[in-house]
Amino acid sequence: MAEGPLPYLQIVALIAAIGLSWLFWRLVSRRREQEDLLMGQIREREARLNLALWGSGDEFWDWNIRDNSLYRLGANQLFGQGSLETMSTDEWRNNSVHPDDLPRVQKLLQEHIVGHAEIYDSEHRIRGASGDWVWVRSRGKVVERDESGSPLRMAGTARDITAIRRAERERRVALEVLRSMSEAVAVIDLDFCFISVNPSFSRITGYSEEEVTGQNSNMLDSSQHSPDFYRRVRDILERTGHWAGEMWQRRKDDEEFLGWIEMSEVRDSLGMRSHFVAVVNDITDKKRAEQELRYLANYDTLTGLPNRALLSERLGRAIIRARRQETRVAVLFLDLDRFKDINDSLGHAAGDRLLKAAAARLQSTVSASDTVARLGGDEFTVVLEDVESLVAVERMARDILTAFSTPLEVDERHDVSITPSLGISLYPDHALVPTDLLKYADTAMYQAKAEGRNTYQIYNETMDAEARQRAAIISALRKALERGEFRLVYQPRMSLADGSITGVEALLRWNSADLGEITPTVFIPLAEESGLIVSIGEWVLGEACRQLKAWRLQGLTEICVGVNVSVLQLLRGNLVGYLKRLLEATELPADRIELELTESMVMQNAEQTTAVLNELRRLGVSLAIDDFGTGYSSLVYLKRLPIDTLKIDKEFIDDLTRDADDEAITSTIVTMGHSLGLTVIAEGVENEDQLNFLRQQGCDEIQGHWLSRPIDGDRCLAFIRAWRPDLLLPAVKVAS
Ligand code: C2E
Ligand code: CA
Ligand code: CA
């Protein structure tokens, strides 16, 4: 009986227990499976989130407000590997956020939490992985609150915006630079339409930004260039991506301006050309100033004629053409005769007007295609091209001389007669380069002056040697005074009436350290030409007076000294004032000084010199006309001049007793001189025959080698002291 239903029940219970535990196990394992699945899904999501955060460069943050912890995800890029994924809020506050930004961040958080702001949105700096500050934009919101509404959790994202902010700042700076630039800047698209322009663009062109945006940039094309020019520029720009150069542009008001323009392509990040930028500088004023400068550099301001620089350039081009076409070029060098004297007497303003009138006269004489230039002073040059023959050039030279035979009008009241001297050189006959042609024409011009002025000369080689010689002498002359190279010698003159020595003529000698002894007939004309005669003449006067004074102290009181004076000393320099001071300083009686002036010089400048001669006369000095008979003076003129003495030129004395004409001339001069109350002196008396003839004609005094050569001061004193008219000169004795 004991084995009845009990075992059965036990079995059932066992089975039930097994079943239950299996069920339980199943339940647990199912639960675990589900949990695993869930966890897997979460992990997967987290991985995806991580991936998404990595892809976007953002971090995800989750702030548990209750326990003050901050969970951050995907922050590796921002904060580097190994950065804390969880940190306390305190840590975040103290170490992570830039202290300067913290108050602002906290305020923004606060505003969102209390509900003033829909979301929390802040830009601030946090410390990055390398310790540098990184700009982030952080956005988030409260995601969980308790029943009372207090926030429990807040979550959001943060993004590194350092690069964006830098780019933004750069863009702002660039924009500011663009706005403040004085150059016009325009951005144009690949069809050359304006996209944007800066304020300077509007200032320079007159168009506002709205007016040009979308318009083709050819709206600024000017008529100064052909449409072809602009096409070419755009072509180059399209091919090379760059163009720079000067370009005329038209403003809104239709005025044109010259721009210096630089255009460059702009490429996008893929390297594709996206548009062009044009920078425009208005250089109209600069150009104008440049042109003015160029004008000043190339033209003579007084006459408006090309100057030496432009002349050389044109002559150079003429030579190149002539070489190609096998023609000739002529250079005419023109210098106005005695311009300096006129300039000095009329004043510089009138002198300038005279130069202008001369320039106009010259220009109207030659043809328009010939270049007339002013080289400076009173020097002009004419360049003739396509010259057929020398005859044609000479014809032109004569035309110019004829043109100047009509007086030039200086102003309403004054007409001035002035003649030119012309020198001519030819390419390729005389020289092949401009400088030589000019030099040779200049040389020939000097020759024309030497031939008596108001004429022309064609260059030949002997002239060149002469010109060089002359230049060497002039440059040595400039140094002669300060080097003390001058000295005076004295030639006595004798009275034919009683054989006494009446005076001496001071004659200048120059022993140049560079060139040796040079005779006055060579250097005096050059001293006159160069103007050096004024200071040299003053030295002569001073030295002659010093010598006379020394002689007087040695008892020689009766003689006078003749000093040669160049007409330039009368016209320029202050001869009267200088002599006056000299006489006062040396205490010499004025009538012991006799100034000798050549006849031709006095006659050529009669009006101007007469005034000075009268003043000299009032001073008390005597005046002599030198070389008398060689010029063309009329008696009428002689009468008007305040002179005392005539010196018959040696030329007539030479042939006395041989040439009847010279005898006739000499006796006429003596008679004529006496009729005017003048003392007559014969120069260059070399023998007794001449002396006898002169004595017979009643000539007053003689001078010449027969009596004495010019000798130095000491010897002259000895000569005069030893002179015994009664013993040594029978012929004179007869006369006396
Ligand atoms: P000039 O005033 O007619 O001077 C006379 C010249 O004839 C002097 O020449 C003199 O040496 C020369 N002579 C005098 N007697 C005879 C003679 O019997 N036979 C010959 N064959 N010659 C004689 P020099 O000294 O060579 O002077 C030449 C000219 O230079 C002068 O001619 C004068 O015009 C000028 N000259 C000389 N010294 C001066 C000066 O200090 N100032 C200026 N402005 N000219 C001067
Ligand atoms: Ca003389
Ligand atoms: Ca003389």
Task: Please tell me the distance from the alpha carbon of residue 398 to that of residue 400, in angstroms, as a whole number.
Answer: 5
25: left (phi over 0), alpha (psi -120 to 50) or beta: alpha
The one-letter code for the residue type at 711 is I
If DSSP codes are grouped into helix, strand and coil, which group holds residue 548? helix
Nearest-CA residue for ligand 1 atom 20 is: 684
Class of domain 491-507+528-725: alpha beta
Mean pLDDT within 578-604? 91
Q: Are both 54-160 and 181-282 of the same fold?
A: yes
* Shortest-distance Cα residue to atom 45 of ligand 1: 564
Q: Is the pLDDT reported for residue 680 higher than 50? A: yes
Pocket test for ligand 1, best of 533, 564, 599, 626 (most atoms within 8 A of CB): 564
Which residues are within 8 A (CB) of 654 and not within 5 positions of it... i.e. 6 or more apart? 662, 684, 686
Q: With 90 as the cut, is the pLDDT of residue 186 above it? A: yes
Distances (CA, A) of 182 to 198, 203, 206, 207: 9, 9, 14, 16
Å from CA of 311 to ligand 3 middle:
44
569 CB-near residues (< 8 Å, 6+ apart): 533, 534, 537, 538, 575
Q: Rounded to the nearest whole angstrom, what is the distance from the C-alpha of residue 583 to the centroid of ligand 2?
A: 21
Ligand nearest to the CA of 517: 1
pLDDT bin (cut points 50, 70, 90) of residue 644 is: very high
3-state secondary structure 83-94: CCCEEEHHHHHH
CA of 507 to the centre of ligand 1 (A): 6
Per-residue burial over 78-106, b if 16 or more Cβ lie within 10 Å, else e, is bbeeebeeebeeeebeeebbeeebbeebe
Residue 552, helix vs strand vs coil: helix
Share of the chain above pLDDT 70, in %: 96
Phi and psi, residue 546, nearest 5°: -60, -45
Nearest ligand 1 atom to alpha carbon 527: 44
Smallest Cα–Cα separation from 680: which of 688, 670, 690, 689? 670
Any idea where the domains of the chain sit in the sequence?
54-160, 181-282, 290-465, 491-507+528-725
Q: Cα–Cα distance between 112 and 103 in angstroms, integer?
A: 14
Query: What is the spatial distance between Cα 250 and Cα 280, in angstroms, rounded to a whole number?
Result: 13
Sheet of strand 273-282, all strands in order from the earlier edge strand to the far edge: 194-197, 184-188, 273-282, 256-267, 242-250
Average the pLDDT over 128-135 and give the result: 84
Ligand approaching nearest to the C-alpha of 627: 3
Q: Could you report the per-residue pLDDT of 316-368, keeping only the tens digit for each?
A: 999 999 999 999 999 999 999 988 888 887 888 889 999 999 999 999 999 98
Mean pLDDT of 102-127: 92
Residues paired with 331 in a beta bridge: 383, 425
Task: Give yes or no for residue 655 having a pLDDT over 90.
Answer: no
Whether 710 shows a pLDDT value over 90: the answer reads yes
- Classified as helix, coil or strand, 317 is helix
**Is-contact 499 725, C-beta < 8 A?**
yes
Our separate counts of H helices and E strands in the chain read: 28, 27
pLDDT interval class at 736 (50, 70, 90): very low
Q: How far is the CA of 521 from the centre of ligand 1 (A)?
A: 8
β-strand 328-336 against 645-648: which pairing, if any? unpaired
Q: How far is the CA of 631 from the centre of ligand 2 (A)?
A: 15
CA neighbor of 500 nearest in space, from 564, 562, 557, 550: 557
Alpha-carbon span 232 to 523, nearest angstrom: 68
Mutate to test the pocket of ligand 1, among 524, 541, 709 (most ligand atoms within 8 A of CB): 524
Mutate to test the pocket of ligand 1, among 481, 488, 507, 626 (most ligand atoms within 8 A of CB): 507
Distance 12 CA to ligand 1 centre (A): 177
The pLDDT of residue 84 is 53
- Check residue 633 and give its pLDDT: 58
pLDDT tens, residue by residue, 494-519: 999 999 999 999 999 999 998 899 99
CATH of 181-282 given 1.25.40.10, 2.120.10.30, 3.20.20.70, 3.30.450.20:
3.30.450.20
| pLDDT number for residue 130 | 80
Q: How many CB atoms lie within 10 A of CB 427?
A: 24
Rounded to 5 degrees, φ, ψ at 104 are -65, -40
Mean pLDDT computed over 1-26: 79
Q: Kindly give the distance from the C-alpha atom of residue 130 to the centroid of ligand 3, in angstroms, as a whole number.
A: 110
Considering the chain, what is the average pLDDT of its residues? 89
Ligand 2 center from residue 560 Cα (angstroms): 14
Residue written as token pair 């070399």: 686
Other C-beta atoms lying within 10 Å of the C-beta of residue 123: 16
Whether the per-residue pLDDT at 661 is higher than 90: the answer is no
Q: How far is the C-alpha of 394 from the C-alpha of 332, rounded, in Å? A: 10
**649 CA closest ligand 1 atom index:** 3
Residue whose CA is closest, atom 13 of ligand 1? 684
Instruction: Check whether 416 has a pLDDT greater than 90.
Output: no
Whose tokens are 């005034």? That residue is 611
Question: Which atom from ligand 1 is nearest to the alpha carbon of 563?
Answer: 41
**CATH architecture classification, 54-160:** 2-Layer Sandwich (3.30)
The residue whose C-alpha atom lies closest to atom 25 belonging to ligand 1 is 507
Question: In the predicted model, is pLDDT for residue 11 greater than 90?
Answer: no
3-class SS of residue 109: helix
- pLDDT, position 733: 37
Q: Which atom of ligand 1 is nearest to the CA of 520?
A: 30
Calculate mean pLDDT across residues 461-467.
79
Helix (H, G, I), strand (E, B) or coil at 416: strand
Residues with CB under 6 A from ligand 1: 491, 507-508, 519-521, 524, 537, 540, 564-566, 596, 626-627, 650, 683-686, 704-705, 710
CATH of 290-465, picked from 3.30.70.260, 3.30.750.24, 3.30.70.270, 3.10.580.10, is 3.30.70.270
Per-residue pLDDT tens over the stretch 515-570: 899 999 999 999 998 889 999 999 999 999 999 999 999 999 999 999 999 988 98
- Looking at residue 1, what is its pLDDT? 46
Ligand nearest to the CA of 506: 1
Determine whether 718 is exposed, middle or buried from the number of CB atoms within 10 Å of its CB (0-12, 13-18, 19+): exposed
> Is the pTM of the predicted complex or chain greater than 0.85?
no
Q: Whose CA is nearest to atom 42 of ligand 1?
A: 564
Residue nearest to atom 26 of ligand 1 (CA): 520
Task: With cut-offs at 50, 70 and 90, classify the pLDDT of residue 484.
Answer: very high
pLDDT band at residue 734 under the 50/70/90 scheme: very low
Q: Is the dihedral of CA 307, 310, 312, 317 positive or negative?
A: negative
What pLDDT, on the 0 to 100 scale, is given for residue 735?
36
Q: Is it the case that residue 427 has pLDDT exceeding 70?
A: yes
Token pair, residue 618, equals 């009032």
Rounded distance from Cα 682 to ligand 3 centre (Å): 9
Name the token pair of 72: 């951050």
Query: Tokens 């399209």 sit at which residue?
Result: 238
Residue nearest (by alpha carbon) to ligand 1 atom 4: 507
Question: Given this model, what pLDDT does residue 609 score?
Answer: 84
CA of 513 to the centre of ligand 2 (A): 26
| Ligand 1 atom nearest 686 alpha carbon | 18
Residue 731 has pLDDT above 60, yes or no: no
- 645-648 and 622-628 strand pairing: parallel
Which residue's alpha carbon is at the smallest distance from atom 22 of ligand 1? 684
Residue nearest (by alpha carbon) to ligand 1 atom 34: 564
- Provide mean pLDDT across the span 357-381: 93
Q: What are the tokens at 726?
A: 């009664």
Cα of 626 vs centre of ligand 1, distance in Å, is: 10
pLDDT digits (tens, 9 = 90+) for 53-103: 777 778 888 899 888 888 887 756 565 554 557 888 888 888 889 999 999
Instruction: Report how far ligand 3's centroid is from the alpha carbon of 521 (Å).
Output: 11
> Contact 518/473 with Cβ under 8 angstroms?
yes
What DSSP character marks residue 434?
Answer: H
| Residues of the chain above pLDDT 90, percent | 58
| DSSP per residue, 589-603 | -GGGEEEEEEHHHHH
Ligand nearest to the CA of 628: 3
